């Protein structure tokens, strides 16, 4: 299982690196994020469908795709959200059994926001000045945090961090993740010469690790409420696409707002 996890993680990481690095002749990161988002939403809907009313799949997928590409079009976010809200509410009136329609609508909205809106920040961050380097910082910090938290937690974890949500996570693993994120963040600051001090990048890396791990717990809570272990087995050794985006999107959002507020 460990070998499978490492191989699939390497392939996934290489694909992400290439998508972030090259944005010509087409925005590869946007295309990749859009495909990932639609597949992740499908996993979300399948999980919800097992115990709740089924979300609206087609409308939700369309909204996710539009939200992810929205950073390429100025002031389009509010229009997309308004159009989605209007169309999905009108969809409630279609013929058939309407007893679960508002529950279906609520879960459709939840999936669109959780997957589409959060993933759109990845594209938005790439579009900023030095966006490629900032995205690689966010991804690098997250990978380091997740990897060291996983391995150190398995080897030395004794104090459970959130046993009712994710029994395998420990404070020892969480601390190792933060330290690894700090080290990798400082290294990437030096490599890319990011326009911030080492102290600022260090603090940002620590914060990104913390919110990323919190995002992982949010995903774990969702799966626990839905009584599933993984959203799917699409990525060997890692689970589903939904499982792999949780910590990433939270870290990306942290980096995005840091750049918007303190750098640009």
**At 3, is the pLDDT very low, low, confident or very high (cuts 50, 70, 90)?**
confident
Q: Give pTM, 2 decimals.
A: 0.94
- Lowest-pLDDT choice from 7-16, 57-66, 91-100, 231-240: 231-240
Integer Cα distance of 242 and 119 in angstroms: 11
Look at residue 203 in the predicted model and tell me its pLDDT: 98
pLDDT tens string 242-260: 988 889 999 999 999 999 9
* Per-residue pLDDT tens digits for 181-236: 999 999 999 999 999 999 999 999 999 999 999 999 999 899 888 888 777 788 88
Burial of residue 85 (CB within 10 Å: 0-12, 13-18, 19+) is middle
**Residue 5 DSSP SS3:** helix
**Number of domains within the chain:** 1
**Beta strands in the chain, from DSSP E residues, in sequence order:** 160-162, 166-170
Supply the pLDDT for residue 98.
85
Distance CA(115)–CA(118), nearest Å, equals 6
Give the pLDDT of residue 235: 84
pLDDT in tens, 118-129: 999 999 999 999
Residue 182, helix vs strand vs coil:
helix
What is the percent of the chain where pLDDT is above 90? 73
Mean pLDDT of 13-41: 94
What pLDDT digit, counting tens, does each position of 154-163 carry? 999 899 999 9
| Ramachandran category for residue 227: left, alpha or beta (phi over 0 → left; psi -120 to 50 → alpha) | left
Domain that holds residue 215: 2-263
């Amino acid at each position: 299982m460990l070998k499978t996890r490492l191989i699939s993680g390497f392939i996934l990481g290489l694909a992400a690196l290439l998508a972030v690095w090259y944005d010509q002749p087409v925005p590869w990161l946007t295309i990749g994020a859009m495909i990932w988002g639609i597949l992740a939403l499908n996993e979300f809907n399948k999980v919800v469908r097992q115990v709740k009313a089924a979300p609206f799949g087609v409308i939700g997928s369309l909204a996710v795709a539009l939200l992810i590409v929205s950073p390429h079009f100025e002031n389009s976010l509010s229009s997309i959200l308004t159009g989605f809200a209007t169309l999905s509410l009108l969809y409630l009136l279609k013929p058939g059994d309407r007893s679960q329609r508002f529950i279906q609508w609520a879960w459709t909205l939840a999936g669109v926001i959780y997957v589409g809106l959060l993933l759109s920040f990845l594209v938005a961050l790439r579009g900023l000045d030095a966006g490629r380097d900032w995205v690689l910082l966010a991804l690098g910090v997250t990978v380091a945090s997740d990897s060291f938290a996983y391995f150190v937690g398995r080897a030395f974890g004794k104090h459970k961090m959130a046993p009712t949500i994710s029994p395998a996570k420990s404070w020892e693993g969480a601390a190792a993740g933060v330290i690894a994120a700090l080290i990798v963040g400082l290294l990437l600051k030096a490599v890319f010469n990011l326009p911030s001090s080492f102290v600022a990048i260090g603090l940002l890396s620590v914060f990104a690790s913390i919110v990323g791990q919190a995002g992982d717990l949010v995903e774990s809570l969702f799966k626990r409420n839905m009584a599933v272990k993984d959203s799917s087995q699409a990525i060997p050794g890692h689970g589903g696409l939904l499982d792999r985006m949780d910590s990433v999107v939270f870290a990306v959002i942290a980096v995005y707002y840091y750049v918007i507020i303190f750098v640009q």
